[in-house]
């Protein structure tokens, strides 16, 4: 297996991963040949449709293998990971619903045709209007805190709803490797902090007083969190459900939402950990969760999409600084914000392609890959060894299908790149479909108040 960032392989012994790598290489070449990538379109986001379908199927199969037949299961994609309507529509067709955390994400899910009964609303700052809309549509809602639960009380009294209603809890397990993404710390902003004084008793009482509270939700996973800690969070939520039902004297809590957060391997093309590994671990750690007494909801995001997206950018110039080669490309902070501002937590591999979009060969040279923004830290990668990038070549960042090119950061008013899905054609070539059109300069001006030019001078 090749080392981090050194080439286009790294999936030996994993046929599905090797097939994904081959499709990616073909797609980059085809993007250049078909004009999606070139001097006038120097950056694109590419999405592997077959790979996304494979991930959805793997998720469903992994939990089907450990859960009792006939158990209600909803796999809801965390829309925040890749908020693109065609992606949500593709996942819907593959049997995946939507977990939303804002009115905007709910609108995207509905535009993609996701049925209300396959949507879960988990936002930490839901407005009365957002709650009202969800309850009117029959969308599942997880209350984040006592004040929100009181707000829901009033809405439930005012009008009947078919929405499954639950409450989010924080098991307070501690942080993972990335502090900013850890959702189950002692002071996390999410959910009811179970280890705080009186919190557990309050929660039991809240459920006792509200027969319509039938779900518990916890989200302990994220990038940098070990599977064992994720499983512990699920185990503690299951134990709480058992306690609530025992103290009430009946099975009021009938569904457990275990969240998502399966980490992604960014160091090679191998998919690890897998959904099957995580599902088996949960079945061993929390066997009662899968015996048919509880419905199950999952909310995976990054792990469904990351491996199936690639940012590809043209090398506009090359130079040397301090004895090191530097390739200046069109991919930087606008598409890889987390990597640029927190490179230690979010390092990316870089793959080298030549001017025709073919994998580049040659001696590996330690070099930096820089973005187009006007500040020194706009670097996609620092000190990576790969074939020397030259003017007109292409630098690609794989594993960027989630939280990258769908989350544009408009530094320097850089335009949003076009996003295209790809799949093998019947003739052996690559077919592309537009997911999101490249942003135009006219749209940049309009979003920046271009229609109100004289607004301030008139005051």
pLDDT tens sequence across 109-123: 999 999 999 999 998
Q: CA end-to-end span of the chain, whole Å?
A: 65
pLDDT given for residue 195 in this prediction = 75
Residue 9 has pLDDT above 70, yes or no: no
Higher pLDDT: 196 or 91? It is: 91
pLDDT given for residue 187 in this prediction = 53
pLDDT given for residue 402 in this prediction = 97
Residue 180 has pLDDT above 70, yes or no: no
Residue 259 has pLDDT above 70, yes or no: yes
At 197, the pLDDT band (50, 70, 90 cuts) reads confident
pLDDT given for residue 427 in this prediction = 83
pLDDT given for residue 246 in this prediction = 96
Residue 249 has pLDDT above 80, yes or no: yes
pLDDT given for residue 16 in this prediction = 84
Averaged pLDDT for residues 70-87: 98
Bridge partners of residue 77, in order along the sequence: 98
Contact 426, 445 (CB under 8 A): no
Residue 12 has pLDDT above 80, yes or no: no
pLDDT given for residue 5 in this prediction = 39
- The rounded distance, in Å, linking the Cα atoms of 48 and 35 is 18
Residue 321 has pLDDT above 60, yes or no: yes
* 115, burial (CB in 10 Å: exposed 0-12, middle 13-18, buried 19+): middle
pLDDT given for residue 177 in this prediction = 46
Measured from the Cβ of residue 311, the count of other Cβ atoms closer than 10 Å reads 28
pLDDT given for residue 8 in this prediction = 64
Residue 404 dihedral angles phi and psi, to the nearest 5°: -120, -100
Look at the pTM and tell me if it is higher than 0.75: yes
Averaged pLDDT for residues 69-77: 97
pLDDT given for residue 11 in this prediction = 58
- State pLDDT tens for residues 326-381: 999 999 999 999 999 999 889 999 999 999 999 999 999 999 999 999 999 999 99
At 315, the pLDDT band (50, 70, 90 cuts) reads very high
Averaged pLDDT for residues 277-295: 96
- The rounded distance, in Å, linking the Cα atoms of 159 and 28 is 53
Q: Which two tokens stand for residue 145?
A: 């805190």
- The rounded distance, in Å, linking the Cα atoms of 27 and 23 is 6
At 7, the pLDDT band (50, 70, 90 cuts) reads very low
- State pLDDT tens for residues 210-221: 999 999 999 776
pLDDT given for residue 4 in this prediction = 38
Mean pLDDT, rounded, of the chain: 92
Averaged pLDDT for residues 12-39: 92
pLDDT given for residue 175 in this prediction = 45
Averaged pLDDT for residues 244-254: 96
- DSSP annotation string for 261-288: ------SSS---S-HHHHHHHHHHH-GG
Residue given tokens 């999409």 in the structure block: 305
pLDDT given for residue 332 in this prediction = 98
Bridge partners of residue 38, in order along the sequence: 41
- The rounded distance, in Å, linking the Cα atoms of 377 and 380 is 9
CA gyration radius, the chain: 23
Residue 246 makes CB contacts below 8 A (sequence gap 6+) with none
At 2, the pLDDT band (50, 70, 90 cuts) reads very low
pLDDT given for residue 10 in this prediction = 57
pLDDT above 90 as % of the chain: 83
């Amino acid at each position: 297996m090749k080392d981090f960032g050194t080439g286009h392989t790294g999936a030996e012994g994993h046929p599905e991963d090797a097939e994904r790598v081959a499709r990616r290489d073909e797609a980059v070449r085809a993007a250049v040949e078909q004009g999606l990538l070139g001097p006038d379109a120097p950056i694109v986001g590419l999405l592997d449709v077959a790979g996304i379908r494979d991930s959805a199927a793997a998720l469903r199969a992994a939990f089907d293998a450990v859960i009792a037949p006939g158990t209600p299961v909803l796999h809801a994609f965390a829309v925040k990971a890749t908020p693109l309507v065609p992606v949500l529509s593709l996942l819907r067709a593959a049997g995946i619903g939507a977990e939303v955390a804002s009115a905007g994400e709910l609108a995207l899910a509905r535009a993609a045709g996701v049925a209300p009964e396959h949507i879960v609303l988990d936002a930490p700052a839901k407005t009365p209007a957002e709650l009202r809309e969800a309850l009117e549509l029959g969308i599942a809602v997880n209350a984040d805190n006592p004040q929100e639960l009181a707000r829901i009380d009033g809405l439930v009294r005012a009008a009947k709803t078919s929405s499954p209603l639950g409450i989010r809890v924080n098991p307070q397990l501690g942080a993972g490797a990335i502090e900013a993404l850890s959702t189950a710390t002692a002071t996390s902003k999410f959910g009811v902090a179970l280890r705080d004084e009186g919190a557990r008793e309050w929660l039991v009482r809240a459920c006792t007083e509200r027969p319509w509270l039938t779900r518990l939700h916890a989200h302990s996973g994220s990038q940098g969190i070990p599977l064992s800690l994720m499983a512990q969070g699920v185990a503690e939520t299951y134990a709480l459900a058992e306690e609530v039902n025992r103290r009430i004297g009946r099975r009021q809590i009938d569904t457990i939402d275990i969240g998502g957060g399966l980490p992604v391997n960014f160091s090679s093309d191998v998919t690890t950990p897998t959904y099957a590994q995580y599902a088996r671990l949960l079945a061993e750690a929390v066997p009662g969760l899968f015996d048919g007494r509880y419905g199950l909801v999952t909310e995976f995001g990054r792990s469904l999409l990351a491996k199936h997206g690639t940012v590809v950018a043209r090398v506009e110039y090359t130079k040397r600084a301090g004895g090191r080669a530097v390739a200046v490309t069109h991919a930087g902070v606008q598409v890889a914000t987390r990597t640029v501002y927190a490179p230690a937590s979010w390092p990316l591999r870089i793959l080298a392609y030549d001017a025709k979009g073919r994998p580049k060969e040659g001696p590996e040279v330690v070099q930096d890959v820089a973005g187009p923004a006007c500040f020194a830290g706009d670097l996609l990668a620092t000190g990576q060894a790969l074939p020397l990038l030259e003017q007109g070549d292409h630098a690609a960042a794989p594993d960027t299908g989630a939280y990258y090119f769908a989350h544009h950061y408009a530094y320097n008013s850089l335009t949003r790149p076009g996003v295209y899905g790809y799949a093998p054609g019947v003739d052996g070539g690559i077919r592309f479909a537009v997911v999101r059109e490249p942003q135009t300069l006219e749209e940049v001006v309009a979003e920046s108040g271009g229609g109100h030019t004289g607004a301030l001078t008139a005051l």
